[in-house]
Structure 1
Amino acid sequence: MTGGAPPPPAILSKIEQLGFHVCHIYGLTETYGPATWCLRKPEWDSLHYEEQVKLNTRQGVKHFGIEDVDVKDPVTMESVKCDGKSLGEIMFKGNTVMSGYLKDLEETQMAFSGGWFHSGDLGVKHEDGYIEVKDRSKDIIISGGENISTIEVESVIYSHPGVLEAAVVARPDDHWGQTPCAFVKLKDGVVDVDAQDIIQYCRDHMPHYMAPRTVIFQDLPRNSTGKVQKFVLRNKAEALGSLA
């Protein structure tokens, strides 16, 4: 099983090539850990391998301990369309969802606005009902009025043959508002990849506006459980100031 953060398809593919069948789970501390899982469908076996891996990186459907999970507009509380494009906030109901934050009534009321627990994760819902996390609401990059998912950008960077690790955050920009800033760690022995190589690779594999405009090579800061500390990287990108 894998959880904690959406696994890049490139990483998932390499693991499965080693003979492991990876089950993707998703949840939060407030949902007592895993709340959804990517239930593999038999018909996926007939699809091309790359398509199978892509489907397996979705967060999937609720497990038996959750009453309901949905992707909703946090203002209107209406469910988003099951089109894989309409963005909303992932919300939960169920017996394994917390009753509230200890001695913090205000935060509890905000978290359960509209009768659902608000995860803070932005996602979409596909035709088959499977949800897919696009980003944390605080991590989404808004550049020139376009929403850019850092997870999608990171997935492309991870597919570069010379990249070991990657994390993307917003860098302030006087013209665009924000632009993607990528922090990258290369594989041992890779010395012929520079920032422009990463930027061009991204432009070749995604819309140009989504490609990072800044690439910094360094080790990624992590907490005790191995999660990348994006707030550290956001602070560093903020300190760089506007690229324009």
Structure 2
Amino acid sequence: MEHLSKSYGKGKQRKTVLHDINLSVGEGELVGIVGESGSGKSTLARLIMRLEPVDEGTIAFFETDDFYAACQIVFQNASAAMNPSWTVRHILKEPLRSMKDDRDAHIKLMLGTVGLEEKHLDRRPSELSGGERQRVNLLRSMLIEPKLLICDEIVSNLDRLVQKEIVELIQKLNRETGMAILFISHDLKVVQHLCERVYVMEGGKIVEESVKRDGRFSFTHPYSRQLFA
């Protein structure tokens, strides 16, 4: 992303929510974005996914003919991201609708990678726990083997034990598949544990970028220091 800006509203009511954002995610990288609520993190995720147009700047995703197969997103609200009347089987088969091979067999083969079992396939979202719903969302995004997975506050509504399981799962996916992951969160402990590089956002701007060295990040910007203190 280069010099990305985004505003909402018209005339005097127009408000700029992202200012001159420069950000990159390399192949196989695990990159974090942190900042307080309202800093622009989720808006940035929507722009990256082309769910909304940018006002200024460019977003480039290299070496792909099919952007939506190569770049996937998992949202914070796992329940809202699924059709409540569909079974898990139906939810997981939907992104594979153009697949010529046996979709059921492919799904069953992949269930174990996110800690789900065949018994979950015939359940509806309301019959799953919060952690199970987020695992279904992760698997749905993984089934088409994206190059980049964007995780937008995906552990914020889960209890600590389930958070730990999901974070370990993301590490495992990154390690075993080489999938690049952009992990957006306000949970600084999770980001420090999970990511190798982190961007800090304040008021719609990236105020600092830090690379983990010797297992920790170091910061020079006053806002970053205050945030991580």
More strand by share: 1
TM-score class, shorter-chain normalisation, is under 0.3
TM-score, normalised by the number of residues in structure 2: 0.28
